[in-house]
């Protein structure tokens, strides 16, 4: 990666934050009101797995049909990976994440306070009201625990910082083909939003957007990547080696979290509406039509010639939509490929062969 864009690791950022006497919140997938934490000077660090942990610790508590993202998160917690965190935030993303939040609260004691958080499903008319109340409830819980009461100005500043970061995320997605970074570097940059303070991320994103676009070597067979998380990340390198270029994504950790800036008199409502205005998402129970149309639109605007669904095994929210999405893509002349992976997997020869065959077909 270019020197000007050296991205600090999660460990470094957490250590820096802790050294200054501040608190850290470990946040499980998928959506959360990040400004709430920042306004308390708490660093929100998202936990998407992580990959490459000894999952046997989680397996002592979870059945084999629970996905590797949830299993790894529990394993990571049990092996001390979240020891630096003061809070664990458990947003309700799916049945398995709901279960993880619940067993952390009831059955597997951890030294951190576990705070659940419900994201409404199904485009209800009063969803924003409910979500705003949920966010306020989360805010009140943190206020009670920390004894701090951030004033309105602090909250607004925090929202503004995150909105800047979110807008830069949107710009990065839009300009991805002109940014002279490899696909792996680009996704590392995008995913640094999961743990960097918003201002630090914005600084980094602006640098990336200012890089010399003439140096961009991003060429290849244009594809769209869909799924929850681009793990194993080696897939991105593999795609480059095989001549594919990810021109757009519909990933739960990336493209489905392009939150638009919302202004509202009520700060909690502003955060709620922003989350609910993100692109359609299985974990929020969006309609099949909305998700399918979003995919078709993405392929059209990005020029993607094919779609790769990189799915985590046992991920029910994703699995339900696949047949109809693939059918619609086929009808639109866009071939698709489904790859089922565990997040601890390496980029196996089998994956490589399947992607190679797919690219040969669409090229």
Q: Which residues bind other proteins (CB under 8 A)?
A: 60-63, 65-66, 92, 94-96, 98-103, 105-108, 116, 118, 120-127, 129-130, 133-134, 137, 282, 285, 287-289, 313-314, 316-317, 319-324, 326-327
Between 63 and 214, CB nearer to other proteins: 63
CB of 354 to other proteins, least distance (A): 16
Q: Partners of 309 in the beta sheet?
A: 226, 338
Torsion 326-330-336-337 (CA) sign: positive
CB of 63 to other proteins, least distance (A): 5
CB of 60 to other proteins, least distance (A): 7
Q: How far apart are CA 211 and CA 19, in angstroms?
A: 32
Between 110 and 171, CB nearer to other proteins: 110
| Paired tokens of 113 | 């306070």
Nearest to 178 by CA among 241, 249, 247, 250: 247
Between 44 and 120, CB nearer to other proteins: 120
CB of 323 to other proteins, least distance (A): 3
Q: How far apart are CA 80 and CA 275, in angstroms?
A: 30
CB neighbour class for 289 (10 Å; exposed up to 12, middle 13-18, buried from 19) = exposed
Between 251 and 272, CB nearer to other proteins: 272
Between 205 and 338, CB nearer to other proteins: 338
Between 170 and 339, CB nearer to other proteins: 339
CB of 243 to other proteins, least distance (A): 27
CB of 230 to other proteins, least distance (A): 20
Q: How far apart are CA 351 and CA 54, in angstroms?
A: 22
| Paired tokens of 290 | 């909305």
CB of 325 to other proteins, least distance (A): 10
Q: How many CB atoms lie within 10 A of CB 217?
A: 9
Residue 359 makes CB contacts below 8 A (sequence gap 6+) with 221, 223, 242, 243, 244, 306
Between 39 and 97, CB nearer to other proteins: 97
Angle between helices 267-276 and 127-146 (to 10 degrees): 120
Nearest to 49 by CA among 77, 73, 26: 73
Q: How many CB atoms lie within 10 A of CB 204?
A: 21
């Amino acid at each position: 990666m270019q020197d000007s864009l050296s991205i600090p690791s999660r460990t470094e950022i957490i250590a820096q934050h802790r050294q200054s006497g501040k608190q850290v919140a470990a946040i499980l997938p998928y959506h959360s009101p990040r400004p709430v934490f920042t306004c308390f000077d708490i660093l929100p660090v998202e936990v998407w797995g992580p990959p490459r942990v000894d999952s046997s610790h989680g397996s002592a508590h979870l059945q084999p049909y629970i996905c590797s993202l949830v299993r790894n998160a529990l394993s990571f917690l049990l092996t001390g990976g979240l020891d630096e965190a003061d809070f664990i935030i458990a947003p309700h993303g799916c049945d398995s994440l709901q279960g993880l939040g619940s067993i952390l609260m009831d059955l597997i004691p951890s030294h951190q306070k576990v705070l659940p958080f419900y994201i409404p499903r199904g485009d209800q008319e009063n969803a924003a009201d409910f979500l705003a109340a949920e966010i306020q409830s989360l805010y009140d819980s943190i206020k009670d625990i920390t004894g701090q009461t951030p004033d309105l100005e602090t909250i607004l500043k925090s929202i503004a910082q995150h909105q800047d970061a979110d807008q830069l995320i949107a710009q990065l997605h839009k300009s991805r083909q002109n940014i002279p970074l490899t696909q792996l570097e680009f996704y590392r940059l995008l995913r640094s939003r999961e743990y960097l303070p918003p201002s630090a991320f914005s600084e980094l994103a602006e640098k990336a957007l200012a890089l010399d676009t003439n140096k961009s070597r991003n060429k290849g067979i244009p594809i769209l990547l869909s799924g929850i998380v681009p793990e194993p990340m080696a897939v991105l390198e593999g795609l480059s080696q095989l001549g594919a270029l990810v021109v757009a994504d519909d990933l739960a950790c990336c493209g489905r979290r392009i939150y638009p800036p919302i202004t509202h008199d009520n700060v909690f409502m502003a955060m709620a509406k922003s989350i609910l205005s993100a692109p359609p998402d299985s974990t929020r129970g969006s309609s099949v039509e909305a998700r399918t149309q979003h995919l078709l639109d993405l392929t059209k605007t990005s020029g993607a010639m094919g779609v790769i669904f990189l799915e985590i095994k046992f991920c029910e929210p994703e699995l339900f939509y696949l047949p109809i999405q693939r059918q619609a893509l086929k009808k639109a002349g866009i071939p698709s490929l489904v790859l089922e992976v565990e997040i601890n997997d390496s980029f196996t020869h089998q994956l490589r062969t399947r992607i190679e065959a797919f690219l040969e077909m669409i090229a």
